[in-house]
Structure 1
Amino acid sequence: MSSRSKWIQVQFIRGSRTFANSCWACILVCGATGFLLVGLSSCIGEDLIPRLSSKQIAFIPQGLVMCFYGIAGLFLGLYLWCTVFWNVGGGYNYFDKREGISSIFRWGFPGENRRICIQLVLRDVEAVGLENREGFFSSRLLYLKVRGRRSIPLTRIGENLTLEYMEEKAAELARFLRVSIEGF
């Protein structure tokens, strides 16, 4: 999603707050809770989950391993829920031709560097780049090539967008900033 006028362009970047991440977090927490409850049921000798008998599972080693997997899965699910709640990676790309500035903003994990904001002068932008890696794990990355700095990514890493869409976005941004495109 983006907003555009003659002088200002804003591109909103979706972070970790996606439907897929929420579904995976639910599945992970439910599965891990099941593993933990079955492992604990084998330890105490009573069924903590109705209609699921744990009499055939010996606590050592099967029950202990199930408890370990349950605890590990709960920590992983908690981590995933936290990234969804904090919307890690979400933000915006702001380009203002009238003021001659650009601002790249992303949300990070809580702490000292929760707000990641990079401000640039538009005349330092040399090109809009498009990196395309084909293969089993193909990836496409749109970035700004800035004089005296490293390249600054504008899209989420791991975002699986089509090549045509990325080319269109790169061309649109290059036309707006009046710079060249590299990486085709």
Structure 2
Amino acid sequence: MNCHPNWIQIELIKGSRTFTNSCWACLLVCGATGFLLVGLSSCIGEELIPKLSYKQIAFIPQGLVMCFYGIAGLFLGLYLWCTILWNVGSGYNYFDRREGSSSIFRWGFPGKNRRIHIQLLLRDIEAIGLRNQEGFFPSRILYLKVRGQRSIPLTRIGENSTSDYMEEKAAELARFLRVSIEGF
């Protein structure tokens, strides 16, 4: 977390514009294009990809299924590239003890609710929560427990942080806001 003066704390949140997402989007689009071109090659009877034979693939059913998977993969790739372009999920967490306010901002998908901006009074924050789920896909989520409202997540979903790092982050924020920690 970035500390400015002793009474302000700002944490920038990384959105979907990551190297990993860009690699997955490239792989997905390239693979889907390959599937679509091989499926179309089996349909029209000409090689659309040089040195890649389509002769072992009958259009019905294999070529048709490959075209379907190619189109579906291109749509998924387009979706992933759009989330990267719009940087969905990025934003900041801002806490100001002097003013007694906090602001949580995230970018969403284009439309009416593109800007997600939640403003809270610090006195309404009851605790800092840490949800720790172990297993095949472990997840650790830091959230604000707000009086009379749902819990507000502060970290990215899918952020691969260690338990020690998340516990330190929760303790630092709880110390700054002078609230308790839940979920240990």
For residues 3 and 75 of structure 1, the distance between their equivalents in structure 2, rounded to whole angstroms, comes to 41
Number of the residue aligned with 2:29: 29
Superposition TM-score, scaled by structure 2 size: 0.96
Number of the residue aligned with 1:106: 106
For residues 3 and 56 of structure 2, the distance between their equivalents in structure 1, rounded to whole angstroms, comes to 60
Unaligned 5+ runs, structure 2:
none
* Aligned residue type for 2:27: I
Alignment of 1:15-164 (within 5 A): 15-164=15-164
Q: How many angstroms does 1:25 deviate by? A: 0.3
Which stretch of structure 1 is more off in the superposition, 27-36 or 46-55? 46-55
* 1:168 counterpart = 2:178: no
Q: How many angstroms does 1:157 deviate by? A: 1.7
- Match of 2:173, SS? helix
* 1:11 counterpart = 2:33: no
Identity percentage over the alignment? 83
For residues 50 and 147 of structure 2, the distance between their equivalents in structure 1, rounded to whole angstroms, comes to 65
**How many correspondences in the alignment?**
184
- Match of 1:175, SS? helix
Unaligned 5+ runs, structure 1:
none
Superposition TM-score, scaled by structure 1 size: 0.96
**1:131-180 deviation per Cα after TM superposition (whole angstroms, max 9, x unaligned):** 11222222111111111111111011221210100011011111111111
For residues 3 and 41 of structure 2, the distance between their equivalents in structure 1, rounded to whole angstroms, comes to 55
Q: How many angstroms does 1:122 deviate by? A: 0.6
- Match of 1:135, SS? coil
Q: How many angstroms does 1:3 deviate by? A: 4.1
**1:105-150 deviation per Cα after TM superposition (whole angstroms, max 9, x unaligned):** 0111111101101100011111111111222222111111111111
CA RMSD, Structure 1 to Structure 2 (Å): 1.1
- Match of 2:98, SS? coil
Which stretch of structure 1 is more off in the superposition, 17-26 or 127-136? 127-136
For residues 135 and 42 of structure 1, the distance between their equivalents in structure 2, rounded to whole angstroms, comes to 43
